[in-house]
Amino acid sequence: MTRATSSNWGGRRNSAGRKRELGLSDRREIAGDYFAHMQKAREFGDTLRRDAVIRKLMAKYKVTHRMVERCVAEFLPDTRWNAKMYKYAIEGDEIQPLPARNINKLKPGVYVEKKLRLIVNSTGKRTWIFRFKWRFTIRDMVLGGPEISPTMARELAAKASRKLAAGQNPIDDSWSSTALQSLKSKS
DSSP state of 142: E
CA distances from 104 to 20, 21, 33, 111 (A): 51, 50, 33, 13
Average pLDDT, the chain: 75
Q: What is the pTM (predicted TM-score) of this model?
A: 0.48
Closest CA to 39 of 7, 21, 31: 31
Q: How far apart are CA 159 and CA 170, in angstroms?
A: 9
Higher pLDDT, 4 or 147: 147
Q: How far apart are CA 17 and CA 11, in angstroms?
A: 6
* Bridge partners (DSSP) listed for residue 122: none
Most confident of 27-31, 48-52, 106-110: 27-31
Taking a C-beta distance cutoff of 8 angstroms, is the pair 176, 164 a contact?
no
Higher pLDDT, 71 or 19: 71
Q: Can you give the pLDDT at residue 1?
A: 47
Q: Would you say residue 117 has pLDDT above 70? A: yes
Q: Can you give the pLDDT at residue 156?
A: 92
